């Protein structure tokens, strides 16, 4: 029967760790564990073991005498690796499921271990492993979370306990992934458009400058602004999607954003800010008194009369400014700073979160 970290410390024996999957993350973890004095064995059918790691013949063989198992295969292989390892598991073994998978799958994997005497902790790796290795920040949840932290305490590993059952740590990571991976995908798509439009360098510099300006209240401004100005922003993203299409770029993220804003405007989107739908330029339940609603366009979110009135005021003020010789308040960039070679002035992009 494998001992636990406390037993190992008491008798001076090194922690016995099995690493399943010796790719980028697994190899880094294994190397750092070896360097820290742990007794490491591993298995990967496609990758050679790093120096100091004893390569085993199978998943079951790798875990048969381990105190701690790190499953660092892939999300697609997590369940297969767990099933393959079951015959080798012994009572007392702690299985650290560190693949990025859904909370529901983490729960199912924990249930697979029932009857073996081993237990599973939900581990979420919260930053890129290269450059950090074993000391990458991790979230952990489940009944054995404290035991996992105790095992890794001698190795100066950054582990934050997320109170709750298996699945909680992964849930926190995946919610974060919606933002970070979604943002990355939006940037990639927009950069492709900028490249096609001939202003890639300008756009890259512009984004960098905007991100530097981010302040703590930006999150609330993003949320509240999306609800308050859903109709206007949906129209803006429809135009952005059309532009990308004209440039030969498929607007996957842009179209999804347009559709999400349309859902918010229609009152069918997420309920993160239910009261906000009662304000701003979201779709009204009835037209303003005396207002004649604009004819509906197929697939278009109805625009409230108040927003039309606001636009009319803006247009009138611009006409008045033009007729009086005053300079328009819409700032423009020199032609060289814009996209393409057209003679038309390019409006300066709004500061992030300003509308």
Q: Which CATH class is domain 5-169?
A: alpha beta
Asked if the model's pLDDT at residue 271 lies above 70, the reply is no
Render pLDDT for 130-153 as a digit per residue (tens, 0 to 9): 999 999 999 999 999 999 999 999
Phi-psi region of 239 (alpha: psi -120 to 50; beta: other; left: phi over 0): alpha
State mean pLDDT over 237-243. 98
Look up the pTM and report it: 0.73
The residue ranking higher by pLDDT, 39 or 4, is 39
- The three-class DSSP label of residue 147 is helix
Asked if the model's pLDDT at residue 180 lies above 70, the reply is yes
Render pLDDT for 319-354 as a digit per residue (tens, 0 to 9): 333 333 333 322 232 333 334 433 333 333 343 333
Render pLDDT for 64-73 as a digit per residue (tens, 0 to 9): 999 999 999 9
Asked if the model's pLDDT at residue 197 lies above 60, the reply is yes
Measured distance CA(230)–CA(234) in Å, rounded: 6
Residues 67 and 4: beta-carbon distance below 8 Å: yes
pLDDT at 354: 37
- What is the DSSP track for 184-242? HHHHHHHHHHHHHHT-HHHHHHHHHHHHHT--TTHHHHHHHHHHHTHHHHHHHHHHHHH
pLDDT at 270: 74
Asked if the model's pLDDT at residue 253 lies above 70, the reply is yes
- Fold entry, domain 198-317: 1.10.1040
Read off the pLDDT band of 25 (50, 70, 90): very high
Least confident of 4-8, 41-45, 50-54, 280-284: 280-284
Domain boundaries, the chain: 5-169, 198-317
Read off the pLDDT band of 26 (50, 70, 90): very high
The residue ranking higher by pLDDT, 272 or 28, is 28
Render pLDDT for 274-323 as a digit per residue (tens, 0 to 9): 454 344 443 333 333 333 333 333 343 343 444 433 333 333 333 333 33
Is 198-317 in the same CATH topology as 5-169?
Answer: no
E strands, 44-91, in order:
54-55, 68-71
């Amino acid at each position: 029967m494998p001992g636990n970290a406390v037993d190992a410390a008491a008798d001076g024996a090194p922690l016995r760790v099995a690493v399943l999957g010796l790719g980028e993350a697994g190899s880094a973890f294994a190397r750092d564990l070896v360097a820290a004095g742990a007794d490491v064995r591993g298995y990967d059918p496609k990758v050679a073991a790093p120096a100091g790691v004893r390569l085993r013949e199978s998943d079951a063989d790798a875990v048969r005498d381990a105190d701690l198992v790190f499953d660092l295969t892939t999300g697609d292989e997590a369940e297969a690796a767990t099933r393959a390892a079951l015959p080798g598991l012994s009572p007392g073994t702690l299985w650290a499921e560190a693949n990025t998978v859904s909370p529901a799958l983490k729960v199912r994997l924990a249930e697979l271990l029932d009857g073996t005497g081993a237990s599973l902790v939900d581990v979420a790796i919260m930053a890129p492993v290269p450059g950090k290795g074993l000391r990458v920040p991790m979230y952990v949840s489940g009944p054995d979370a404290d035991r996992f932290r105790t095992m890794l305490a001698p190795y100066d590993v950054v582990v934050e306990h997320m109170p709750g059952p298996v699945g909680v740590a992964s849930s926190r990571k995946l919610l974060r992934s919606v933002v970070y991976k979604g943002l990355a995908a939006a940037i990639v798509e927009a950069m492709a458009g900028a490249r096609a439009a001939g202003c890639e360098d300008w756009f890259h510099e512009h984004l960098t400058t905007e991100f530097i300006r981010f302040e703590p209240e930006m999150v609330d401004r993003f949320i509240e602004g999306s609800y308050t100005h859903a109709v206007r922003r949906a129209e803006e993203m429809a135009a952005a999607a059309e532009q990308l299409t004209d440039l030969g770029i498929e607007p996957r993220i842009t179209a999804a954003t347009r559709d999400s804003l349309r859902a918010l405007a229609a009152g069918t989107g997420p309920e993160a800010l239910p009261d906000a739908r009662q304000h701003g330029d979201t779709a009204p339940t009835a037209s303003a008194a005396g207002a004649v609603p604009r004819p509906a366009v197929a697939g278009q979110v109805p625009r409230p009369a108040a927003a039309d009135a606001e636009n009319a005021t803006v247009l009138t003020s611009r006409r008045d400014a033009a007729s009086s010789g005053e300079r328009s308040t819409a700032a423009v960039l020199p032609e060289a700073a814009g996209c393409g070679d057209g003679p038309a002035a390019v409006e300066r992009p709004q500061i992030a979160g300003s509308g």
